[in-house]
Every structure is written in structure tokens, then in C-alpha cells.
């Protein structure tokens, strides 16, 4: 099994597991977030040697987990927003990986040598596709056709969230480059460690919380 197949398989496994805990809520989601916090801290202290790097990454992780918990528990709108951004982040990551590996092209930064312009385009395209996917998921959950997300605003937000995910990836990559690390761990096949998987999601969740607080969503 090559790295792309491992990456896709891991994403397929992570998505339903994450959604399961989010759907269950209560102690399930709290326990799930505590597990991520513990694993993330263990990984941060194991992989990074610079104290400032550990502090910055840990603060972002805590902010993201608190934002996630708020979005899960506040209202039905925030709950659906959370579902969407998790799906979107995975779509954006897979799209970037597929397009980057398939079309290659010009690299964008020395911080993350594998990032290419084609990968950026792929991330944006797959992020837009996530709008249709979340509409389908909500239709399955409610039993009725749902076009709530199929509005111009959400396609624009999809691009914005994808940009946040890609910038988050570059941000964590910068700290990995300072430490001369390829991955922050090996717990997730095809992805590396916890931070290799949730680097973009942390920034998307924080942005989503801000936009939700500002009533940009719904």
C-alpha cells in the first residue's frame, strides 16, 4: 500500500470516528477531546525541543479544542458548522495531496517543500465539493432534502476555510522545519502524527468559532 492509499484510508477511518464522538456529545466528546489533548501534548514534548515552539503549538491546540467543544454544544447551527468544517478540512487535505502528486508543478515554499500550486488548487476544489457532501449528509440525517448549505456564501466560506487549513499546515510545517522534522509522529499511517493530521483543522476550527461568534454563520 503506497502513501496515498494509506492517507486516504486513514482519512476514511478518522472521519466516521470523529463524527461518532461529535454526534454522541456529552462525556463522549469531552473524553475524545481530552484524548487528543493528551496525545498532542505527548507528541509536542517528544517531537519539539524548542520551548517556544511547544508553548505556541500547545496554546493553539487548546484554543482549537475549546472552540470545537463550544461549536458542538452551543446550537444546532454551530453543530452543523462543526460537522462541515471537519469534512471540509479532510476534503481539502486529500484534494491537495491528490492534485499535488498527480499534476506536480511549481513549489510554493521552502517551509513545506511538497506544497505546489496544483495542490493548492486541488485543496480549493475539494473544499467546494465538501459543501455538496455536507448537504447530502444532513439530508441523510434528517430524512429530507436539505439545501441549507447550497448558497453562494458557503462556497465562499469553503474557500476561506480551505485557505485557513493550508496556512495552518504551513504554520506547523515552519516549526517542524526549525526542528528538522518530517513528521511530528507516526501514529497515523500516511499522515504522520496528531499534529500532521490536525494542523489545518486547528486553524479552521478557531476561524469557524470567530465567524460563528460574529454571526457570519448561519
* 144 assigned to some structural domain: yes
pLDDT of residue 42: 86
pLDDT of residue 64: 96
* 218 assigned to some structural domain: no
* 157 assigned to some structural domain: yes
- C-alpha gyration radius of the chain: 17
Distance CA 145, CA 135 (A): 8
Opening angle at CA 159, ends 20 and 125, nearest 5: 85
Distance CA 188, CA 192 (A): 5
How many Cα atoms are found within 13 Å in the side-chain-facing hemisphere of 31? Answer: 7
- In whole angstroms, how far apart are CA 89 and each of 60, 96, 179? 17, 11, 25
pLDDT of residue 6: 64
Sort residue 190 into left (φ over 0), alpha (ψ -120 to 50) or beta: left
The range of the structural domain enclosing residue 119 comes to 3-213
* 127 assigned to some structural domain: yes
Distance CA 74, CA 53 (A): 32
* 190 assigned to some structural domain: yes
Distance of CA 126 to the CA centre of its chain: 13
pLDDT of residue 201: 92
* Contact in structure between 111 and 175 (CB atoms under 8 Å): no
What is the pLDDT tens value at each position of the chain, 218 positions in all? 556 666 666 667 777 888 788 888 889 999 999 999 998 888 888 888 888 988 999 999 999 999 999 999 988 889 889 989 998 998 998 898 888 888 877 777 777 767 788 889 999 999 999 999 988 887 877 665 667 778 889 999 999 999 999 999 888 888 888 878 776 766 665 556 778 778 889 999 999 999 999 988 87
Domain count, the chain: 1
- Give phi and psi for 179, each to the nearest 5: -95, 0
Question: Rounded to 5, what percent of the chain is helix, strand, coil?
Answer: 75, 0, 20
* 175 assigned to some structural domain: yes
* Strand positions, DSSP E, 104-155: none
pLDDT of residue 102: 84
* 29 assigned to some structural domain: yes
pTM higher than 0.75: yes
Amino acid at each position: 500500500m503506497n502513501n496515498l492509499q494509506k492517507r486516504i484510508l486513514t482519512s476514511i477511518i478518522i472521519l466516521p470516528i470523529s463524527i461518532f464522538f461529535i454526534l454522541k456529545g456529552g462525556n463522549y466528546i469531552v473524553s475524545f477531546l481530552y484524548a487528543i489533548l493528551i496525545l498532542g501534548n505527548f507528541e509536542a514534548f517528544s517531537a519539539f525541543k524548542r520551548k517556544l515552539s511547544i508553548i505556541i503549538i500547545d496554546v493553539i491546540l487548546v484554543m482549537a479544542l475549546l472552540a470545537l467543544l463550544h461549536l458542538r454544544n452551543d446550537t444546532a447551527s454551530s453543530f452543523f458548522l462543526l460537522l462541515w468544517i471537519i469534512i471540509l478540512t479532510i476534503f481539502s487535505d486529500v484534494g491537495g495531496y491528490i492534485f499535488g502528486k498527480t499534476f506536480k508543478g511549481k513549489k510554493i515554499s521552502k517551509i513545506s517543500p511538497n506544497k505546489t500550486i496544483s495542490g493548492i488548487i486541488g485543496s480549493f476544489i475539494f473544499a467546494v465539493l465538501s459543501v455538496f457532501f455536507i448537504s447530502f449528509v444532513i439530508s441523510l440525517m434528517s430524512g429530507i432534502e436539505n439545501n441549507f448549505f447550497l448558497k453562494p456564501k458557503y462556497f465562499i466560506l469553503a474557500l476561506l476555510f480551505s485557505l485557513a487549513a493550508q496556512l495552518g499546515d504551513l504554520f506547523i510545517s515552519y516549526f517542524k522545519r526549525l526542528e528538522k522534522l518530517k513528521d511530528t509522529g507516526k501514529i497515523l499511517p500516511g499522515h504522520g502524527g496528531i499534529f500532521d493530521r490536525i494542523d489545518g483543522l486547528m486553524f479552521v476550527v478557531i476561524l469557524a468559532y470567530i465567524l460563528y461568534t460574529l454571526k457570519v454563520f448561519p
